[in-house]
């Protein structure tokens, strides 16, 4: 996923070179230390894939120019200790003409609620941006940016359920959707449903590969025997509820040391690793068996079919049933 971010700076240069050929639409992603990497990477991938697809197929339409932003600019660390390079939110020319702005989620958002420069910037954007999409906990930052005076309080219109706040109009369905669906909705609006479907397939295949590769990935190329054994234990027990302290006990480590060592050696937290393993197993069972979605969810430790659907929509942009149908149609018996 970090590779998606490393391409954004090169993409910005390419975008300027193509300025005279295709109209530019700036997409901003506001980040902070401790942001959740997977969802933000998904947004980057959607717009980069749209650019690549339209260029290869010679399709007209806007060129998306994706900017990673933070309060002071520079290097920002994700929750999984992957570093990305960002531009300052106060950089000239960035804040006044975004076509869409995504606000990252993650545990680190709580440390930003008192960051006045970020809150003031979000308030300023409220008057100018047509589309602002919070990712999970990113909604807390938008809530913090609400003006205290009555003239700018939240107003709701019955019917289309549009939220009007200081000139900003974003439907509640857009606000509550996943970042992947929000990004794809923008692509569909600009380039059509067919291109959006193609991009959905490309992003899904790449993230499936990410889930499959994670169990075999090490951040530094070497995994100790204890961490390797604990990872295998997580895989073998993924079908039931697991507490991290159980995995730590299996590795004969304190919980704190286990979390630190696992993240350092595997490149992801134990919880993220377990999620990837479960999603990968669900994908396999959906593709290779006729088991009901509810049964697959329980077998893979995902609780229920409804919970599995939420996870699939968040990370793959489709429901489990849609995933199964697409796999069956692309690989007929």
How many CB atoms neighbour CB 234 within 10 A? 22
Residues 281 and 226 in one domain: yes
Residue 298 banded pLDDT, cuts 50, 70, 90: very high
Query: Residue 257 falls within a domain, yes or no?
Result: yes
Average pLDDT over residues 70-93: 80
CB 2 within 8 A of CB 84: yes
Query: Residue 231 falls within a domain, yes or no?
Result: yes
**144-183 pLDDT tens trace:** 887 444 333 333 333 333 333 333 344 444 444 577 788 8
Average pLDDT over residues 250-276: 87
Q: Which of 130, 158, 193 marks a domain boundary?
A: 193
Residues 292 and 172 in one domain: no
- Give residue 205's pLDDT: 67
Highest mean pLDDT among 2-6, 209-213, 249-253: 249-253
Query: Residue 97 falls within a domain, yes or no?
Result: yes
Higher pLDDT: 6 or 91? It is: 91
Residues 11 and 159 in one domain: yes
Q: In sequence order, which residues have a C-beta less than 8 Å from that of residue 61 and are 6 or more positions away?
A: 22, 54, 190, 191, 195
Residues 168 and 257 in one domain: no
Residues 260 and 177 in one domain: no
Strand partners, 88: 70
Residues 90 and 172 in one domain: yes
Average pLDDT over residues 319-333: 76
CATH assignment at residue 239: 1.10.10.60
Which two three-digit tokens encode residue 224?
């100790």
Residues 21 and 165 in one domain: yes
Strand 155-156 relative to strand 168-171, pairing:
unpaired
Residues 32 and 106 in one domain: yes
Residue 108 banded pLDDT, cuts 50, 70, 90: confident
Residue 196 banded pLDDT, cuts 50, 70, 90: confident
**CA 194 to CA 89: how far, in whole Å?**
34
**233-254 pLDDT tens trace:** 998 898 988 888 899 999 899 9
Helix axes 270-288 and 305-315, enclosed angle (nearest 10): 100
* Average pLDDT of the chain, as a whole number: 76
- Give residue 300's pLDDT: 92
- Give residue 254's pLDDT: 92
Residue 212 banded pLDDT, cuts 50, 70, 90: low
Residue 153: burial class (beta carbons within 10 Å; 0-12, 13-18, 19+): exposed
Q: To the nearest 10°, report the CA torsion of 300, 287, 213, 206.
A: -120
**CA 167 to CA 169: how far, in whole Å?**
6
State the Rg of the chain over Cα: 21
Q: Which domain holds residue 305?
A: 217-330
**CA 31 to CA 189: how far, in whole Å?**
25
Higher pLDDT: 300 or 3? It is: 300
Judge whether residue 85 has pLDDT over 50.
yes
72-76, 143-147, 255-259, 280-284: segment of lowest average pLDDT: 143-147
- Give residue 155's pLDDT: 33
Query: Residue 261 falls within a domain, yes or no?
Result: yes
Residues 24 and 167 in one domain: yes
CB 15 within 8 A of CB 27: no
- Give residue 184's pLDDT: 87
Judge whether residue 264 has pLDDT over 50.
yes
Instruction: Look at the chain and report how many structural domains it folds into.
Output: 2
Residues 240 and 321 in one domain: yes
**CA 179 to CA 47: how far, in whole Å?**
12
Query: Residue 153 falls within a domain, yes or no?
Result: yes
Residue 117 banded pLDDT, cuts 50, 70, 90: confident
Which two three-digit tokens encode residue 264?
């350092």
Percentage above 90 pLDDT, the chain: 8
Residue 15 banded pLDDT, cuts 50, 70, 90: very low
CATH assignment at residue 118: 3.40.50.880
Residues 126 and 18 in one domain: yes
CB 105 within 8 A of CB 135: yes
Query: Residue 45 falls within a domain, yes or no?
Result: yes
Q: Which of 193, 208, 233 marks a domain boundary?
A: 193
- List strand residue ranges (DSSP E) for 192-238, in order: none
Judge whether residue 80 has pLDDT over 70.
no
Query: Residue 201 falls within a domain, yes or no?
Result: no
Query: Residue 204 falls within a domain, yes or no?
Result: no
Residues 158 and 250 in one domain: no
């Amino acid at each position: 996923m970090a590779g998606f971010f490393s391409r954004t700076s090169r993409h910005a240069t390419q975008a300027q070179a193509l300025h005279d050929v295709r109209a530019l639409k700036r997409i901003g992603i506001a980040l902070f230390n401790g942001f959740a990497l997977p969802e933000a990477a998904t947004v980057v991938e959607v717009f980069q894939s749209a650019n690549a697809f339209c260029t290869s197929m010679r399709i007209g339409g806007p060129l998306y120019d994706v900017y990673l932003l933070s309060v002071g600019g520079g290097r920002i660390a994700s929750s999984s200790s992957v570093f990305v390079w960002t531009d300052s939110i106060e950089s000239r020319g960035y804040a006044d003409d975004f076509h869409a702005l995504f606000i990252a989620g993650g545990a680190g958002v709580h440390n930003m609620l008192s960051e006045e420069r970020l809150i003031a910037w979000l308030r300023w954007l409220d008057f100018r941006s047509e589309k602002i999409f919070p990712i999970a906990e990113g909604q807390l930052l938008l809530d913090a940016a609400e003006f205290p005076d009555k003239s700018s309080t939240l107003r709701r219109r019955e019917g289309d359920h549009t939220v009007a706040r200081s000139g900003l109009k974003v439907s509640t369905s857009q606000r509550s959707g996943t970042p992947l669906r929000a990004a794809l909705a923008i692509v569909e609006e600009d380039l059509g449903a067919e291109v959006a479907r193609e991009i959905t397939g490309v992003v899904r295949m790449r993230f499936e590969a990410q889930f499959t590769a994670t169990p075999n990935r090490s951040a530094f190329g070497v995994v100790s025997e204890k961490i390797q054994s604990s990872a295998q234990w997580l895989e073998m027990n993924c079908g039931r509820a697991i507490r991290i302290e159980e995995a730590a006990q299996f590795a004969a480590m304190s919980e704190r040391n286990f979390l630190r060592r696992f993240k350092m050696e595997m490149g992801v937290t134990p919880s993220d690793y377990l999620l990837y393993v479960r999603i990968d197993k669900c994908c396999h069972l959906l593709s290779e068996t006729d088991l009901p979605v509810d049964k697959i969810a329980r077998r893979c430790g995902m609780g229920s079919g409804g919970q599995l659907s939420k996870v699939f929509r968040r990370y793959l942009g489709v429901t489990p049933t849609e995933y199964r149908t697409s796999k069956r149609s692309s690989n007929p018996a």
